[in-house]
């Protein structure tokens, strides 16, 4: 891993944390879902009482959200705010649909505090989401038992007695699995730039060839962005997990590890998984150039070390 030169590039989009919002700014929040909810919580937690939230905006409808007025976004409306903070996973679509709007900033969650999790208050358990690791299967097991998905403040004493667990995956196969679906296949699906979660606008803004995507180009451009400015499918696992988990299983041993969790907690009515058949590292190595593998190993070095994976 030593000797790999990964040079960061300038992000063409503006991502702001709560700390980045100027003092006494008047803002509108674009979005009225989970990200908007955690944005409000983070503003309160960090005592940013100087920030004036004028109202919320939505692409499709008006209404109310957390006692705030929600307006349907219209390009012709000035809104009389300093900034429009986008708290939505659809932020690339929102930005490219309104290229003349210069006040857009994309909300960057403080992932050291707020973790996207599946929470079962009845059984006092928290499952921390981790993309491309069989998380969807475990999520469905818990949701079917009445759990909910939310951003959890891991510093909240409410959760001190909860059993917290997550699953990891070999960093190379996790990354390449994400790349195969969320880049290669998504670009095919977005040939007409359909309106859904879309990585194409980000790649195009970085001058990445979306017609014939190159893994090496992706690694040398997109993957040099700050971790919390990338799509979450391309985050490292060590930083994402934090240090408060009671158990970390592995996708490569998911059936036995999930049974172990159940033995410890009695969390699940059953531990039957419908999917979670991971492609093997050897299969990927047959088709991925060694140069790319070395860069992946350098990017996710902490994951290999913390979770005892061999590159």
Q: What is the pLDDT of residues 274-293, one digit of tens each?
A: 665 667 888 888 889 999 99
**Res. 199: pLDDT tops 90:** no
More confident residue, 192 or 167: 167
pLDDT attached to residue 142: 96
Query: Comparing C-alpha atoms, which of 113, 118, 153 is closest to residue 261?
Result: 118
**Res. 64: pLDDT tops 70:** yes
Was domain 18-107 assigned CATH 3.40.718.10?
Answer: no
Under a CB-based contact definition with an 8 Å cutoff, are residues 120 and 142 in contact? yes
pLDDT attached to residue 185: 84
pLDDT attached to residue 242: 86
**Res. 21: pLDDT tops 80:** yes
Instruction: Note the pLDDT tens digit of each residue in 225-266.
Output: 999 899 999 999 998 898 899 999 999 999 999 999 999 999
pLDDT attached to residue 197: 60
Under a CB-based contact definition with an 8 Å cutoff, are residues 128 and 166 in contact? yes
What percentage of the chain carries pLDDT values higher than 90?
Answer: 74
DSSP helix/strand/coil, 189: helix
Helix axes 290-299, 171-179, angle to 10 degrees: 110
**Res. 1: pLDDT tops 60:** no
CATH 3.40.50.720 placement within the chain: 18-107
**Does the global pTM surpass 0.85?**
yes
Under a CB-based contact definition with an 8 Å cutoff, are residues 178 and 222 in contact? no
pLDDT attached to residue 239: 86
pLDDT attached to residue 2: 43
**Res. 133: pLDDT tops 70:** yes
Cβ of 289: how many Cβ atoms within 10 Å?
11
**Res. 120: pLDDT tops 50:** yes
pLDDT attached to residue 84: 98
DSSP helix/strand/coil, 149: strand
Residue 27 phi, psi (nearest 5): -130, 160
What percentage of the chain carries pLDDT values higher than 70?
Answer: 92
- Output the average pLDDT for the chain: 91
pLDDT attached to residue 12: 78
Q: Rounded to whole angstroms, how far apart are CA atoms 7 and 33?
A: 35
pLDDT attached to residue 187: 82
pLDDT attached to residue 272: 81
pLDDT-derived band at 200 (thresholds 50, 70, 90) equals confident
């Amino acid at each position: 891993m030593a000797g790999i030169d990964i040079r960061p590039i300038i992000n063409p989009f503006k991502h702001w944390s709560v700390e980045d919002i100027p003092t006494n700014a008047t803002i509108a929040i674009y979005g009225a879902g989970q990200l908007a909810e955690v944005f409000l919580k983070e503003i309160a937690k960090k005592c940013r009482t100087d920030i004036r939230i004028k109202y919320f905006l939505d692409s499709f409808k008006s209404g109310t959200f957390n006692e705030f007025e929600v307006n349907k976004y219209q390009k012709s409306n000035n809104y009389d705010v300093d900034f429009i903070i986008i708290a939505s996973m659809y932020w690339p679509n929102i930005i490219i649909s309104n290229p003349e709007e210069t006040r857009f900033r994309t909300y960057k969650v403080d992932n050291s505090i707020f973790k996207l999790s599946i929470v079962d208050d009845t059984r006092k358990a928290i499952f921390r989401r981790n993309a491309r690791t069989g998380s969807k299967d475990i999520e469905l097991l818990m949701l079917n038992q009445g759990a909910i998905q939310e951003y959890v403040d891991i510093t909240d004493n409410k959760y001190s007695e909860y059993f917290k667990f997550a699953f990891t995956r070999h960093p190379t196969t996790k990354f390449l699995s994400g790349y195969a679906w969320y880049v290669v296949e998504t670009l095919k699906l977005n040939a007409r730039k359909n309106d859904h979660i879309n990585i194409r606008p980000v790649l195009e803004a970085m001058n990445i060839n979306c017609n014939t995507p190159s893994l090496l180009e992706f690694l040398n451009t997109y993957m040099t962005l700050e971790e919390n400015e990338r799509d979450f499918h391309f985050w490292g696992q060590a930083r994402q997990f934090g240090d408060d988990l009671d158990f970390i299983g592995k996708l490569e041993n998911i059936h036995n590890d999930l049974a172990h969790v159940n033995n410890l907690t009695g969390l699940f009515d059953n531990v039957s998984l419908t999917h979670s058949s991971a492609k093997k590292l050897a299969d990927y190595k047959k088709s991925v150039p060694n140069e790319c593998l070395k860069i992946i190993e350098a990017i996710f070095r902490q994951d290999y070390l913390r979770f005892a994976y061999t590159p």
